[in-house]
Structure 1
Amino acid sequence: MGNVYFFTGFPGFISSMLLEELIAKWAPEKVYTLVLPPMKEKAIAEKERICSSAYFPQAKWEIIEGDITKSNLAFSEKQLHMLAQSVTHVFHLAAIYDLAVPEHIARMVNVEGTKQVNEWVSLLPHLQRYVYFSTAYVSGTRQGMIFEHELDKGQSFKNHYEETKFLAEVAVREVAHNVPTTIIRPGIVVGHSKTGETMKFDGLYFMLNMFERLKFLPVIPYLGKGEAQGNFVPVDYIIEATLYLAHTDEAIGKTYHLTDPNPYKMRDIYRMMMTEYLGKEPKGILPLSLVKWAMSFSFLRKWLRVEKEALEYFECASIYDATNTRNTLAKIGITCLDFRDVIPVMARYYREHRHNSTKQLTIH
């Protein structure tokens, strides 16, 4: 019997891409994906697309309706027994990733949902690995060097997303004493480094949304000094690294920063993005405090298609040490592309799909 994989977070972007790569290169015996009932139709379509392109038998992939916020993930006794008999690898990606998420929703999904998944994986007798998707930004407002083994340093947080992902990782670390666990902490994920493909224009894409709206201006200023490092990583690096870490015994009980090993300052990223997309360079500096004030007005946020919370990442001077990651991945030649080389691909994909409303977040 080969490996049997269970995923939450499908048909989300990273979960879908992980499954596509897993099926192509890791020959799974069986795949189970948990989906919320309202997402089932979309999940079936995505499953059919992946199975068709990878020549993977649809019978070897089962979509199970469930809910991570419910006891036993809302599975029936029959489903619980079936999964307990076979599952070897669990990838927990289901979460609310929106920086502007209300606190009660973030706590219900990110914290309580993860605790329910933790309880369930603790009962799987054949489990070889529990892969939990955290975020580098569990560091909150900490500045300076952040190490992979660190978590609770009494930090505060920039938003409810960061805080609830921190609390969820605390819970995962508690079960890691008894469950073979690997914690993945990505930086801010952008599209595929070769195709540019991404599901949503959020995160760094807010910058492109803004440039698109303001392109009529003769001059666009920098937003603050932008001295903080920007930590942006293409999704294909996240996928390749995660799947290797999920299968090597070296990664059991460890946490990995899948961050940019050679990050640029936000000021330089802003300039490179503007030059690539608009063919012009920023001039002058608009104080970040003034920008934040302006973004307090919902009509402006909605027009620019930018979340106010994203501005915090222009000034939080965190440096993410990824020594553990680099040492482990170097053995098989997995490296993160220089972000300068990713920007043209991002800009091209954005330009081609910028009018696709399904790729834009709803800004409140």
Structure 2
Amino acid sequence: MAYRYFVTGATGAIGSALLPLLLEEPDSRVWALMRADSKEHLTKRLEELIAFWELGPAQAQDARTRIMALRGDTDQTRFALPDDVYSEITRQCTHIIHCAGVVKMNLPLETARRHALGAAENIVEMARACQTSGVLRKIEFVSTVGVGGKMSGLVPETWITQPREFHNTYEQSKAEAEDYLREQIELHQLPVTVHRPSMVVGDSKTGKIIHYQIFYHICEFLAGRRTFGFLPNLGEVKLDTVAVDYVAAAIKYSSERQDSAGKIFHLCAGPDAIKLTELQKLVRQTFKEGGIKTPMIIHLPIAAFNRLIDLIVPLLSEKMSRIAKTFPFFLDYLSDKQIFDNSLTQQYLSRSPDFSNNQLDVAIKKYLQKI
């Protein structure tokens, strides 16, 4: 079927795993929005993306033919695209997939809002223009399970409208973007599926991921390599992670089905999320197998650990100091007793055999072996 996709975040963790799936249909074409300083930089970014996929020469050339790399910005009006290009997209685009996101936890709130809410406004504007042209079929909007903020208990697969506190400005801005999107869906009858992934790790078969993000730093933290062996007591806290190929496949599957419109999918481990103590054992074991030394662990109460970090930060290098200052953002989650419900999502995805096994433990181990 001749699908025409507009994709943001094509060079990110999810987007880079999704694009090859979209190209499986030989008649599909993709407009891939990328940040770039120049046309030459744009070409370089596309070539780096194709190289990441490790395609054969013929497949790589086919990808170059069917991916139209666009130099733009999700924060800017109409994505900072030329008028003729924007007009062409809105006349032909059948599917909009918004994967882009600035995953920084400690940005000033107004900056975080500009990234999350600004992008949502631009997605809606393009979607309405595509509606007017009569071509739009679906919108896939990637959010985060973090919109639940500090809710305790089971976070539902529904719009969350109740007042709540947030761990950081990233969560708050993404929640505000969802609030805006919900209003626009009701107002304009937009065919949107919201995808809320948890912390994305590598491919469940290969461990590959295009960028090492926050999970990499958490693994180093849990191994004790960043704290000289001192760690807070982890208790029964779990860390919800999800394999990147699972997320990408779910988005593609949803994009091909009209009955997923109006649904919210929690792409996560849910009740099966791994305990931090188990993850710590897995990290240290994998590092040991890879010849990476890890210090003996000394556990401290969280309050004592935070005081220790305050004392040692001035003694660290600039790079290590920046890393150590991120620990409080991570430790803020240790007091939560929160599980993300994914029962409805699993029921929907179970229609396809591709989702019979997420193999999360394999994904984590393969990912660690790639570090």
Which bracket does the TM-score occupy, shorter chain normalised? Answer: 0.7 to 0.9
Question: Which residue of structure 1 lines up, in the alignment, with residue 83 of structure 2?
Answer: 77
Q: CA deviation at 1:83?
A: 0.9
> What's the TM-score, normalizing by structure 2?
0.84
Question: Which residue of structure 2 lines up, in the alignment, with residue 167 of structure 1?
Answer: 176
Question: Which residue of structure 1 lines up, in the alignment, with residue 8 of structure 2?
Answer: 8
Q: Against the structure 1 CA distance between its residues 315 and 131, is the aligned structure 2 distance closer, same or farther, given a 3 Å change threshold?
A: same
Residues of 1 paired with 2:42 and 2:222: CA distance? 36
Displaced runs of 4+ in structure 1, greater than 6 A? 279-282
Q: Secondary structure at the match of 1:37?
A: coil
Residues of 2 paired with 1:210 and 1:225: CA distance? 12
Q: Against the structure 1 CA distance between its residues 58 and 199, is the aligned structure 2 distance closer, same or farther, given a 3 Å change threshold?
A: closer
Residues of 2 paired with 1:51 and 1:87: CA distance? 28
Q: Against the structure 1 CA distance between its residues 281 and 232, is the aligned structure 2 distance closer, same or farther, given a 3 Å change threshold?
A: farther
Q: CA deviation at 1:123?
A: 1.5
Name which of 281, 298, 304 aligns with 1:290. 304
Amino acid at match of 2:330: A
Q: Against the structure 1 CA distance between its residues 181 and 295, is the aligned structure 2 distance closer, same or farther, given a 3 Å change threshold?
A: farther
Residues of 1 paired with 2:296 and 2:242: CA distance? 23
Q: Against the structure 1 CA distance between its residues 268 and 346, is the aligned structure 2 distance closer, same or farther, given a 3 Å change threshold?
A: same
Q: Against the structure 1 CA distance between its residues 108 and 294, is the aligned structure 2 distance closer, same or farther, given a 3 Å change threshold?
A: farther
Q: Secondary structure at the match of 2:214?
A: coil
Residues of 2 paired with 1:35 and 1:230: CA distance? 30
Task: After superposition, give the CA deviation of every residue in 1:206-259 in whole Å (9 maximum; x if it has no partner).
Answer: 133236673996xx4552233222101111111111111121222111100001
Question: Which residue of structure 2 lines up, in the alignment, with residue 110 of structure 1?
Answer: 116
Task: After superposition, give the CA deviation of every residue in 1:150-194 in whole Å (9 maximum; x if it has no partner).
Answer: 412211111111111111111122222321001000010011122
Question: Which residue of structure 2 lines up, in the alignment, with residue 40 of structure 1?
Answer: 42
Q: Against the structure 1 CA distance between its residues 251 and 273, is the aligned structure 2 distance closer, same or farther, given a 3 Å change threshold?
A: same
User: In 1, are the aligned partners of 2:90 and 2:126 still within 8 Å (CA)?
Assistant: no
Unaligned runs of 5+ in 2: none
| 1:275 correspondence with 2:275 | no
Task: After superposition, give the CA deviation of every residue in 1:69-120 in whole Å (9 maximum; x if it has no partner).
Answer: 2222223332222112210011112221122333332111111222122122
Residues of 2 paired with 1:300 and 1:152: CA distance? 43
Alignment of 1:260-271 (within 5 A): 260-261=269-270, 262-271=272-281
Q: Secondary structure at the match of 2:256?
A: coil
Count of residue pairs brought into register by the alignment = 347
RMSD (CA atoms): 2.7
Question: Which residue of structure 2 lines up, in the alignment, with residue 362 of structure 1?
Answer: none
User: In 1, are the aligned partners of 2:222 and 2:280 still within 8 Å (CA)?
Assistant: no
Q: Against the structure 1 CA distance between its residues 335 and 98, is the aligned structure 2 distance closer, same or farther, given a 3 Å change threshold?
A: farther
Amino acid at match of 1:185: R
Amino acid at match of 2:335: E
Unaligned runs of 5+ in 1: 351-364
Question: Which residue of structure 1 lines up, in the alignment, with residue 255 of structure 2?
Answer: 246
Q: Which moved more, 1:37-46 or 1:70-79?
A: 37-46
> What's the TM-score, normalizing by structure 1?
0.86
Identity %: 22
User: In 2, are the aligned partners of 1:128 and 1:180 still within 8 Å (CA)?
Assistant: yes
Q: Against the structure 1 CA distance between its residues 232 and 281, is the aligned structure 2 distance closer, same or farther, given a 3 Å change threshold?
A: farther
Q: CA deviation at 1:61?
A: 1.9
Q: Which moved more, 1:340-349 or 1:282-291?
A: 282-291
Q: Which moved more, 1:122-131 or 1:27-36?
A: 27-36
Residues of 1 paired with 2:190 and 2:203: CA distance? 32
User: In 2, are the aligned partners of 1:3 and 1:30 still within 8 Å (CA)?
Assistant: yes
Q: Which moved more, 1:287-296 or 1:43-52?
A: 43-52
Residues of 2 paired with 1:28 and 1:105: CA distance? 39
**Greater percentage in helix:** 2
Residues of 1 paired with 2:352 and 2:124: CA distance? 30
Residues of 1 paired with 2:258 and 2:232: CA distance? 44
User: In 2, are the aligned partners of 1:103 and 1:160 still within 8 Å (CA)?
Assistant: yes
Alignment of 1:22-101 (within 5 A): 22-23=22-23, 25-38=24-37, 40-46=42-48, 48-49=50-51, 53=56, 54-55=59-60, 56=62, 58-101=64-107
User: In 2, are the aligned partners of 1:8 and 1:33 still within 8 Å (CA)?
Assistant: yes
Residues of 1 paired with 2:48 and 2:97: CA distance? 18
